[in-house]
Chains A and B, each alone.
Chain A
Amino acid sequence: MSSDQNILVKLNDTGLRIDDKWLVKGVSLQVEKGKIVTLIGPNGSGKSTTAKIALGIYKKIDGSVEKYTTKVGYVPQKISIDWTLPLRVNDFMVLTENLDNETIDEALSLTGVIHLKDKNLGDLSGGEFQRVLLARAISKKPELLVLDEPVQGVDFTGEIALYELIKKISDELNCGILLISHDLHTVMTATDHVVCLNGHVCCSGSPMDVAKNNEYKALFGEQASQILSRYEHRHDHIHTDEGKIKKN
């Protein structure tokens, strides 16, 4: 454990309930400078919700969030841009912070989309847009990066390059990263800490620790059988509608 001053954001037993239904419950985790924390778990397991709790987007939450930085970069899982807004990539880059041209160019080059700088945001493909989103988040040199499936829709070679870039950014900027990913290979190689979610924290620890965990082994077995993206989550319990946990 590193000292407390390295902590960027800390979730203490946080949860979110909407209309008496728990989206996620009892999550404790912390992101430190220079470390990558990855959230894994099936669809609807509360990964994005947890990320938004960490970002302070939800106001009425259970538990508490301690945030020690204001320099935050965020790549949301989904974002819809309205065409009533004329918005070029260049305009989008300076959305939350004013940056000089050099910084913008550098970030766009890093994610390989510098040639799209003057294009309308609405004309980009899914993968191109994802690269722009990542470029925008890293360009402001944040202390905390929250990346919600940052490489979705990116081609295979690009995906590997972007994950390498994310690792590099974490080292160079010494920023903490909260990553949500479906790519277990990345999780196992580049992450410092893994949190496995399914409405609550199923298991967490270093990738090695998690790999030894029975619940993770269930995932890993599925991955070995060539199913990378669609893995099943095996439990000793089931989840009921109210977000309660029932032992099998």
Chain B
Amino acid sequence: MFDDFFIRALVAGIGVALVTGPLGCFVIWRRLSYFGDTLAHSALLGVTLAFTMEFNIALSVFIISSLIALILIQLQKKTNLPGDALLGLLAHSSLAVGLVVIGFLTFIRFDIMGLLFGDILAVSVDDLLIIWIGGALILLTLKFIWKPLFASTVNYELAEAEGLNPDRAKAIFTILMAAIIAISIKMVGLLLITGMLIIPAAMARNLSTSPQSMVMYSVIGGLLSVIIGLFASLEFNTSSGPSIITAALLLFILSLFKIKQSIKLKN
């Protein structure tokens, strides 16, 4: 069944969407879009490392992204630069270093477009295993830290005062962000991963009245985007990443009609 590349891509995409749905909600709630972007940009460095050391790509991307997150936290403590400047600094410099390293690796043929924008043809059975096992681990961990993470997203002091240890939850969430980028890089490509995280979640915000319903709509939105996007990518011979993100955008635009209605009702 997994012999067909398209089935593989579909199964991989569904696995990714199940994880990006809930995670994306937290990215929106905690205002971490640019943080996600920075981690994703650094993923290229992880990929080059994987090729030079003959290492698993997902694992090496995960390690590099976690490392970048750690460096960011250190820089925030030690410099007076604003957060967005530090994010930009890390995002672009790690992307640039990654591209420079690729230039040196002339003995390996790189599909840069595939790295940047995703490539459904590249999804192997091994990738499926990484996505589904890694994805299940991410979701389990998220379920475990949900209470402190959500409580501290609403109000840090309440969570801290009532003994929920929000700092630990935040640290674990950072690792989960690195992990989701590592497992979804082949599907969506590193430039568009944050889109996969925030666009379905943004659509869900327009439709939902409670955190649970937002997570649910976000997962549904992600699944629809993957399915529609992949079929379109097959039909029009476009890269898988941009096709999925475009489908997500269309769903977001549709969700705007729902907001218009509820605003009209309020008035």
Chain A residues close to B by CB (< 8 Å)? 52, 55-57, 70, 72-74, 76, 79, 81-82, 84-88, 90-92, 95-97, 120, 140, 146
> B41 on the interface (CB 8 Å rule)?
no
Q: Are A85 and B157 in contact (CB under 8 A)?
A: no
Given contacts A70-B163, A96-B159, A96-B164, contact A84 B205 (CB under 8 A): yes
Which of B171-179, B210-218, B220-228, B240-248 contacts the other chain? B210-218
Q: Are A57 and B213 in contact (CB under 8 A)?
A: no
Shortest Cβ distance from residue A226 to the other chain B in the assembled complex, whole angstroms: 35
Shortest Cβ distance from residue B158 to the other chain A in the assembled complex, whole angstroms: 6
Question: Which of chain A's residues have a CB closer than 8 A to the CB of B163?
Answer: 70, 72
Given contacts A84-B28, A85-B211, contact A92 B161 (CB under 8 A): no
**What is the total number of residues of chain B having a CB less than 8 Å from a CB of chain A?**
25
A91 to B153, CA, bound (A): 13
Q: Are A56 and B29 in contact (CB under 8 A)?
A: no
Shortest Cβ distance from residue B193 to the other chain A in the assembled complex, whole angstroms: 20
A33 to B31, CA, bound (A): 41
Pick from A55, A72, A87, A140: contact of B211, CB below 8 A. A87
Task: Tell me the interface secondary structure of chain B in the complex.
Answer: helix
- Mark each residue of chain B from 146 to 173: 1 if its CB lies under 8 Å from any CB of chain A, else 0: 0100110111011111111000000000
Shortest Cβ distance from residue A137 to the other chain B in the assembled complex, whole angstroms: 9
List 25 A-B residue pairs with CB atoms under 8 Å apart, sorted by A's residue number: A55-B160, A56-B160, A57-B157, A57-B161, A76-B155, A76-B158, A79-B157, A79-B158, A81-B154, A81-B155, A82-B29, A84-B28, A84-B31, A85-B153, A85-B211, A86-B211, A86-B213, A86-B214, A87-B210, A88-B210, A90-B210, A95-B154, A96-B151, A96-B159, A140-B162
Q: Are B205 and A86 in contact (CB under 8 A)?
A: yes
Pick from A72, A85, A91: contact of B162, CB below 8 A. A72
Given contacts A57-B157, A92-B154, A96-B147, contact A73 B162 (CB under 8 A): yes
Chain B residues close to A by CB (< 8 Å)? 28-29, 31, 147, 150-151, 153-155, 157-164, 205, 208-214
Pick from B28, B29, B155, B160: contact of A79, CB below 8 A. B155
Pick from B147, B161, B164, B208: contact of A86, CB below 8 A. B208
Chain B, residue nearest A73 (CB): B162
Question: Which of chain B's residues have a CB closer than 8 A to the CB of A55?
Answer: 157, 160-161
A72 to B157, CA, bound (A): 12
Q: Are A86 and B209 in contact (CB under 8 A)?
A: yes
A88 to B208, CA, bound (A): 11
Task: Tell me the interface secondary structure of chain A in the complex.
Answer: loop
Chain A, residue nearest B148 (CB): A96
Q: Are A88 and B209 in contact (CB under 8 A)?
A: yes
A57 to B155, CA, bound (A): 12
Most buried by A among B28, B159, B163: B163
Q: A76-B157, A82-B29, A96-B147 are in contact. List 4 more A-B contacts (CB 8 A).
A: A55-B157, A76-B158, A86-B214, A95-B151
Q: Are A95 and B150 in contact (CB under 8 A)?
A: yes
Question: Which of chain B's residues have a CB closer than 8 A to the CB of A57?
Answer: 157, 160-161
Q: Are A96 and B160 in contact (CB under 8 A)?
A: no
Q: Are A91 and B210 in contact (CB under 8 A)?
A: yes
Pick from A73, A76, A84: contact of B29, CB below 8 A. A84
Shortest Cβ distance from residue A148 to the other chain B in the assembled complex, whole angstroms: 10
Question: Which of chain A's residues have a CB closer than 8 A to the CB of B205?
Answer: 84, 86
Question: Which of chain A's residues have a CB closer than 8 A to the CB of B29?
Answer: 82, 84-85
Shortest Cβ distance from residue B84 to the other chain A in the assembled complex, whole angstroms: 18
Shortest Cβ distance from residue A32 to the other chain B in the assembled complex, whole angstroms: 19
Shortest Cβ distance from residue A1 to the other chain B in the assembled complex, whole angstroms: 27
A85 to B31, CA, bound (A): 11
